[in-house]
Amino acid sequence: MPTIYIDGQAHEVSEGDNLLQAALGLGLDLPYFCWHPAMGSIGACRQCAVLQYQDEDDTRGRIVMGCMTPVTEGARFSLAADRAQAFREDIIESLMLNHPHDCPVCAEGGECHLQDMTVMVGHRDREYQGRKNTHRNQHLGPLIHHEMNRCITCYRCTRYYRDYAGGTDLAAMASHDHVYFGRHEEGVLESEFAGNLVEVCPTGVFTDKSLVHDYTRKWDLQSAPSVCTACSVGCNIMPGERYGKLKRIHNRFNHDVNGYFLCDRGRFGGHFVNSEDRIPAVGKRDGDGRFSAVDADSAVSSIAALLRQGKTIGIGSPRSSVEANYLLRELVGAENYCTGMSAQEGALVQHALQQLEQSQALVPSIRAMESADAVLVLGEDVTNTAPRIALALRQSVRNKAYAMAADLRLEAWQDAAIRNLAQDQRSPLSVLSVAATRLDDVASHTAQLCPDDIARVGFAIAAELEGALPAVDLGAELAELAKTIADTLRSADIPLVVSGTGCGHSGILDASAAIARALTGPDRPAQLSFCLAECNSLGAALVADGAGMGLEEVLELAAQDGIDNLLILENDLFRRTSCSKADSLFQAAGNVVLLDTLTTPTCDNADWVLPTSSFAETEGTLISQEGRAQRHFPVFNSVAPIRENWRWLLDIGHCAEVATCKSMVHFDDVTTSCANTIKTLFGICAAAPAASSVPAADKVPRQTHRFSGRTAMRANISVHEPRQPTDEESPLSFTMEGHSAEHNGALLPYVWSPGWNSNQSLHKYQSAVGGALQGGTAGTRLIEPGDIDAAQESSGSTAPALNAGEYRLVPLYRIFGSEEMSVRAPAVAQLCRPAGLEMPASVAAELGVSNGDGVTLTATTGNVDLEVTINDSLAANCVGYSHGVSGTGGLVPGSATKLCRAENWQRAPELIGTDRGATTA
């Protein structure tokens, strides 16, 4: 730990830091723009200038850039020297030459790093009298608003977009006074991570379009710590609310999970909360088939009466919290609880869970994945199923560059130097998938294979690592590929295998586990990670506790004996099974009670509908694919009669006098009861502090201390301000009083610090700049490496063989479209396309179809017509359907299917100049 002197004061700082990091870490204010804790230093903006002195006798010093100056033992600096201050003020003045004075109408205002830095350096008066440059803005799609005039050319946007996230369609155009950050031509930004530009840009060039169109200043937003529900990764988010509407979602730093960045599905998909499709009232279906609104309490007692009378099957949901699933299980009895997943998916998740629990390999956090120096992605299109992991894998390939830099004793933050040094040298990343993926551009080895072959190559890699012969003959080419990939993994210090349930193939999970097992040695922790389908897939499986029916079992039960009551928790069965099967289930069930947030086709078949709060209005614990239990808290209260899912179920439980429900009153009681009942969920109480852990007077405020207009915002109703609602369920309060900084990391509702209004204030909450939160990392891991790692029996091939004229049906995923709730957000919906069937040109030729034609797909559950898109990267004999997109609910991944040209297919009208058409490798 070197000692440095800043303005005469001695400080101990971390070895290898630069001065800017060190100064910020010491709590000193040093302004900066181009530096970013996740992206390192390039010394471009010149804003963090300080004086460095040669030695004790040097009184003059020289200007150096803080972010480019390593801290060395005995180094002497001055931040406060007049020359340094004047230099920094001059820099701001020059950056402000062309910056418009439009703060009052700018969406960044009030959380603008440029504003903060301008105030920090004391530059108050603009002396520049000339004309300001103006630019034409570009339409960058429905998510991001572009306002180029505000640019101060710090280059953070392109450094993030191109260097960090791998995007290719945003670049710095022109030079000197005309620099322009934009696309070659107007159009939707292609990167799945473009939304982070909103937070990366230090001013208002890139802003959240839906926030711009329905605006609230940061200080007027009510926020709470929350967890993204758009995939199984469980990124931490900070949704902001005003007037009962979700206004925006910002990243909530979690050192081990999402770090500084989210994917666009997570950032923009949460707006379904404001959807007009929200179920507004408690509905009971009349004799004429129409819903009539009924009183909530009488609905609860009627439903409780139903539960007491007959046999009730509870269908849970992998998108509902652990607590809600647990309560449902308690209401209907463990033997009548269904996880809400199809039998195939349920079995896969159970299988994945088993593998993870038994494996000696570490289930890595996202941050741990970034440190892997050789990665194998087996059968999972990570970018579209668990996007944040794809961003992490993109960083993992840079470990080669960091190793080269370490040899030259270059610090990891020397971003430009290291990129220049490494050029296109990367750590190995192998991607075996059914079709080309968006990670292929940084992959060292790629192959597109059918799921069975992916599993076979996986097993061959495991065999190669163990020095055994592969069980099946793969042919020379694939055997060579397996050997090459095995070599990359063998020579790595931290090898990582990423797979998942995406292909619907258990052999792929087995193969991944086998590789991880072969890689694990006494001095080497191999990493094994499985991407799962939904935000609480793992939680639902854990609640089932080894039992739990799949949907098909419920269908069978219904067909055999009929079901008196069906209690469905936040689940649209039409996404899980075919229309005909779902219809027959609803016909066989006496009473169908549905709890859900938005209207769905299942809603149309329910006899009772109870409106539930969205993730932004309720607390709940979700278990991510890492096995991390994380709690989300309500950002705002939902309007009666909408209630939290757990509250509806608890109310029904009380009314039906279910024994376990008796002792439960509060949310924390449910969590505790669940933790005590289900052994594997014992840890969930530690996911976040309980409501009782914080004295009422010391609760964490959801509102900022500048929160304004509390009376005015409802003056149209009454000028008398009502009492703020109290929150008895969490350690947070709906007020502005109190302080948020000193609490547990899981309770951080927003970041702010005096003089630091933007999200850059985060470093004030971190233990070290870029490090974990002072209050601890949110969430608690439930799965740690097992002791015994027994080889699993595996069949190798699980898919039925293809007969002549049949094709292998594989699921293809879309970041915008495959996830149920995010597609109901209006901006995201604009980026969704109807379901389709992708096929190689060879298959299209056999069928005599081309792009835009229709094919009829013969599935066991009935015929489906889908639009053809030619995708030559698909593995031979494979056809890929858009998984999760409306109309594909009954299709079974991995099944063999017959195809023929669709009769009476109406081609969509073709627009000249659209990019509809082939996605080629």
Partner 1 sequence: MSALINALSTRELAEIDDEISHAPYRSAVAIDALKIVQAHRGWVSDESIKALATYLEMSAAELDSIATFYNLIYRRPVGDKVILFCDSVSCWIRGCAKLEQHIGDRLGIKRGETTADNRYTLLPVPCLGACDKAPVMMVGDDLHENLTADSIDAILADDSTSRGEHD
Q: Under the rule (CB under 8 A), what is the footprint of partner 1?
A: 168-175, 180, 183-185, 917
Eight-class DSSP state of 278: B
E strand segments, 28-82: 49-53, 62-65, 76-78
Find the Cα–Cα–Cα–Cα dihedral 602, 607, 610, 611, rounded to 10°.
50
**Residue among 188 and 294 whose Cβ is closer to partner 1:** 188
CB of 183 to partner 1, least distance (A): 6
CA quadruple 733, 738, 740, 746: dihedral sign = negative
CB of 836 to partner 1, least distance (A): 19
Q: Which of 265, 266, 259, 439 is nearest to 366 (CA)?
A: 259
CB of 187 to partner 1, least distance (A): 10
Q: Which of 272, 250, 384 is nearest to 817 (CA)?
A: 384
Beta strand 862-870 with 854-859 is antiparallel
Rg (CA), the chain: 28
Q: Let me know if 914 is exposed, middle or buried by CB neighbors in 10 A (0-12, 13-18, 19+).
A: exposed
The 10 Å Cβ neighbour count of residue 120 is: 18
**Residue among 98 and 399 whose Cβ is closer to partner 1:** 98
Alpha carbon distances (Å) from 172 to 151, 175, 179, 201, 635: 11, 8, 7, 14, 38
**Residue among 172 and 479 whose Cβ is closer to partner 1:** 172
Eight-class DSSP state of 791: P
**Residue among 138 and 529 whose Cβ is closer to partner 1:** 138
CB of 172 to partner 1, least distance (A): 6
Helix boundaries (H) for 730-825: none
Query: CA geometry: angle at 689 spanning 685 and 693, to 5°?
Result: 115
Name the one residue in this structure whose structure tokens are 């949901």. 317
Q: How far apart are the first and last CA of the chain?
A: 50
**Residue among 180 and 707 whose Cβ is closer to partner 1:** 180
**Residue among 9 and 423 whose Cβ is closer to partner 1:** 423
Longest dimension (CA), the chain: 94
CB of 135 to partner 1, least distance (A): 13
H or E stretch covering 251? strand 245-251
What is the Cα–Cα distance from 319 to 632, expressed in whole angstroms? 13
Residue 733 phi/psi, 5-degree rounding, is -130, 160
CB of 168 to partner 1, least distance (A): 4
CB of 189 to partner 1, least distance (A): 10
CB of 853 to partner 1, least distance (A): 18
E strand segments, 286-398: 291-293, 312-315, 337-338, 374-378
The angle, 0 to 180 degrees and rounded to 10, between the axes of the packed helices 476-490 and 451-466 is 50
CB of 171 to partner 1, least distance (A): 4
Inter-residue contact 576 to 887 (CB < 8 Å): no
Helix boundaries (H) for 81-196: 82-95, 113-121, 156-158
**Residue among 170 and 449 whose Cβ is closer to partner 1:** 170
**Residue among 86 and 174 whose Cβ is closer to partner 1:** 174
CB of 148 to partner 1, least distance (A): 14
**Residue among 181 and 326 whose Cβ is closer to partner 1:** 181
Name the one residue in this structure whose structure tokens are 């929200």. 278
Inter-residue contact 503 to 454 (CB < 8 Å): yes
CB of 166 to partner 1, least distance (A): 11
What is the Cα–Cα distance from 630 to 229, expressed in whole angstroms? 11
Inter-residue contact 709 to 243 (CB < 8 Å): no
CB of 182 to partner 1, least distance (A): 8
CB of 138 to partner 1, least distance (A): 11
CA quadruple 218, 221, 226, 231: dihedral sign = negative
CB of 383 to partner 1, least distance (A): 17
**Residue among 190 and 487 whose Cβ is closer to partner 1:** 190
What is the Cα–Cα distance from 672 to 664, expressed in whole angstroms? 9
CB of 912 to partner 1, least distance (A): 10
**Residue among 767 and 919 whose Cβ is closer to partner 1:** 919
**Residue among 168 and 711 whose Cβ is closer to partner 1:** 168
**Residue among 88 and 183 whose Cβ is closer to partner 1:** 183
**Residue among 675 and 868 whose Cβ is closer to partner 1:** 868
Q: Helix, strand or coil for residue 634? A: coil
Residue 124's contacts (CB-CB under 8 Å, 6 or more residues apart) are none
Q: Helix, strand or coil for residue 817? A: coil
**Residue among 105 and 918 whose Cβ is closer to partner 1:** 918
Q: Which of 434, 464, 461 is nearest to 447 (CA)?
A: 434
